[in-house]
Every structure is written in structure tokens, then in C-alpha cells.
Amino acid sequence: MSNCCRRYCCCCCNVFCCSGNGHSISPPPFETPPVGNLLIFVNPKSGAGRSLEVFNKQIASQLIAKNINYELIVTEGSGHACSIVKTRKDIYLFNAIVICSGDGLIFEVINGLLERPDRSEIIPRLPIGIVPSGSGNALLGSVLHTRKLPLEDGPFQQTACSIIQDLEALAFPVNLLHIETPEQHFGAFLSIGWGLLGDIDIESERFRRIFGSGRFAIGAVLRLLNLRTYRGRLSFLESGPSEPAQADPFRVYETTMPPPFEVVMKEPEPLERIPIIPDSKKEEMGDFWETRYLSSYGQIPRLNEAVPENWTIIEDEFVFVYVMSLSHISNKGYYVPQAGLVDDRIYLTYALKKDVTSKITLAKFLDALDHGRHNETQAFDFFKIIPVKSFRLEPIDSGSYIVVDGEDIKCKSIQATVTNLNMAVMAK
């Protein structure tokens, strides 16, 4: 089979298919107009490597039966999906982007969209559908939790698959964070980790294909046997009283889509998915993100500026620092119960070496964390949680990973701030 045919599923319900010689050909005409149009990315290496099998067995035939048009792209490596979404001129013709993978590919797609000049218009209005096939599925777990839908592995995946082909599916807004490092500005939707939890995430990658999500337990045991601690400077601006969030869900399949290949650019009507492409003049990403801070934040410094006097600074030896914007660290890992999908704060958690009495206590904490019970007992009083608007981490010791949404970010310091820019995630 040619590489081209592996990338694009060739059936009459696809927007795009290809001949054996790699040239694109138009699909046959539809008997009736499709009721929706999806751009689908499958990462064949995510989790235990079963994502393409999941799509073929649990989704493809249902989309055909519901007359939902789709374009299927099997990603060929890191950056493939990013390069597509940031350059597609017809991306407004899709009702949603569906990702068959874990949180890593979602991170890549969101940051690809953020590189577009029309990012402010497209990110809140083009939903992300998620078919969980990675070892970390925290974003969808957090969204389905708010909808009181099942999070156990089997029902979790079945529910996710049913959402994609549900013509009544809704898109729920989810906050994005502004991440600044000395080298770049980008977006995140979930977490920033350093120390023990970040090390477990990255160092367990080698067990992904064999153990899937079980890799985290293997990684935790290995890291506890050789526990490391790190000196660092943690600075943060504590959050005041919560501001009520105003972000309503919208229907994903709200309109009949235009025929394939017909690119329409016109003045947007309310709820239409075809907004004006803004002026192509490049906007500095740091300036863009600053316009997305809430007015109540006060002055948030750039990373290369000193923190204001109203920030708290802790310079000490840490076991871990872990910052969450959502409730779950996996579909079953209930980390921050009070976190909402649209929140005006992020949740800074950390543990200092001087407060952790033994490795056994830490092992019990990680076991409780795996089952979402770490907040239910006073036995883990070393676990600190503080709602903040912005935080900065400056490692003093080298050696630990800085992990954003499960991705290893090579940087010497990092700052994260809550924004009012929302992505949208499919649920029901």
C-alpha cells in the first residue's frame, strides 16, 4: 500500500482520497449532502499502538451510517498534525477536529492552531473531538467528569466514540494557559510538572507500548527506589475570590456543511464557522497572550522581569511541583476536585523535601493519587495546593524535566498564566 493511501482513508465518505500513484482525486458525488465534516488525526504510535484499529472498528462505519463526512490523516511523526492545521485554508469547513491519540497530539494541534493569524476566531469555534487511545487522557477525563459520564477505561472509550458520531453532540469551552519560556510563548490546557511527577511521566515513556497507561505505575516504583529532589525558586500570585465564568456550550453539528472542496470566505453570521481571516500582519505572541489576561490580574511580568512585591517566593528543595488547570491527570486520576473547565485560576501543588517524612509515605501518596484519594486524608500534609493566577518556576539544580501537558519542554525557566482564551471539546 502506498504511503499516501495509508495517510488518507479511501472511501466514498471521505473529503479526500488518493489513487495508488499518490495523486489526489475527487470523491464521487453524494446522494444527499453530508450532515457534518470532520478532520481526523490518528496517531498510530500512541498508547499501546491501537489507535488506528480503534478508529476502524469503532468509529468509521458509524460516521458513514450517520452521513458524516471525514478526512482521515494518520500522522507520520512529531509536528505532522501541527504543520497541517496551521496552514489549511479550508479548515473552517470542518465541524470539528477529531484526535485519536492521547493528550500529546491535542497539545500539538492546539499549538498549531495558535500559529495561525486567525487563532482568536478559530480556536474557540472549532471543537476538538477526542478518541482516547493514548496513555494519558486527562483532558477528556476532566470534561466527561463534569458531564457525569463514565471514566472507567472500557466505558470511557465507548462514550468517547459515541460522542464523535452523535449529531446532538455539544462543544464545551475549556481554558487555555499562556506558557512563557526564555525561548517561546505557547498554549497549554492541562498541566506543568517538575520533579517527581514530571520525571515519572517522561521516564516511563519507554514502557508505553507494553503497559499503556500502566507505565506510570512502573515509572513511580522505579523513581521511588532512586528518589531525587531538586532545589528551585517558585514564585506565584495567589488568586483572590473566584470570578463567575460565562462560557456556554454550542452544538457541533449545527449546520449542514458545504460540499467538499468548496472554500467559502464571507462575513460571519452569529454561530457560523466561517469568520473573516484577519490581517496577516504578524502579531508578537507575547503581546497576543497579554491581551488574554483577565483585568483583575494586575500587572503580570514577563519572564525576564522581576516578580512584583505581591508575589510569594519559595526557594527550597522540592520533591515535586505540579500545576493543574483541570481536575484530572488521567481519565481516572482525580487530582484537583475544585478545578473547573473554565476557571479564573490554576492550581499550584508542591511538596518540599523537608516535609516528606519517608519514601513509604510518598509511595502511599502516589497510590492514593492513582485512585483520586490523596485529598481525602490528613496523612499527606506535605501536599500543598494553592489557587494562583500566575506562577514562575526557576530550577536551580539541573537534571529534572519540565513537562507541559505531558511534553518535555527544554527550558531553564517557565511561567504560566490563566487566560480567557477557550478551546472547545466535544461531549454530550
- SS3 category, 230: strand
Q: Which of 90, 103, 248, 405 is catalytic?
A: 103
Instruction: Give the Cα separation of 321 and 302 in Å (integer).
Output: 21
Q: How far is CA 387 from CA 257, 259, 290, 392, in A?
A: 42, 47, 20, 14
Q: 142: how many CB neighbours lie within 10 A of its CB?
A: 28
Nearest residue to 380 via CA among 402, 399, 364: 364
User: In residues, how long is the chain?
Assistant: 428
Quick one: which H or E segment has residue 245? none
Annotation says 103 is catalytic: yes
Instruction: Give the Cα separation of 207 and 397 in Å (integer).
Output: 27
E strand residue ranges, 240-311: 250-251
Q: Which three cell numbers stand for residue 70?
A: 471525514
Q: How far is CA 93 from CA 5, 262, 274, in A?
A: 23, 8, 7
List of long-range contacts for 305-308, beta carbons under 8 Å, 24+ apart: 307/235, 307/392, 308/237
Which amino acids are annotated catalytic?
Answer: 103
